Amino acid sequence: MAKKLIAFHPEDLRALQELAEDKASTLQELMDEAVRDLLKKHGKFTDLRAALMHSRDDDAPKPGKKDDPAQAKGKPRVAASDRRRRSRR
């Protein structure tokens, strides 16, 4: 395991130590969990299986989503109330 020295503000470190104690885990386990969650949030994966599963899910069509021709052409959608106001002019 690679090592990296990271500085924390004293109040943050104290809160992390309390959390580790409450969860009956170590500071290292909390940091591992936080880093994994951060990488997942940004679409970066530490193992091949998770990356492949994420890639498969991205390629699948989304149910209930239909392509809107107005959006596809780059035209903004106009709300019905705006159309009525424009037609009265």
List the chain domain ranges.
10-62
Please give the Cα distance from 76 to 89 (Å, whole number). Answer: 20
Tens digits of residue pLDDT in 12-35: 999 999 999 999 999 999 999 999
Residue 89 in this model has a pLDDT that exceeds 60: no
Tens digits of residue pLDDT in 62-73: 666 555 555 555
Looking up tokens 């390629």 gives 59
Structure tokens belonging to residue 72: 């596809």
Q: What is the CA angle 10-27-34, rounded to 5?
A: 95
CA–centroid distance for 85 within its chain: 39
Give the residue among 77, 48, 21 at the shortest CA–CA distance from 29. 21
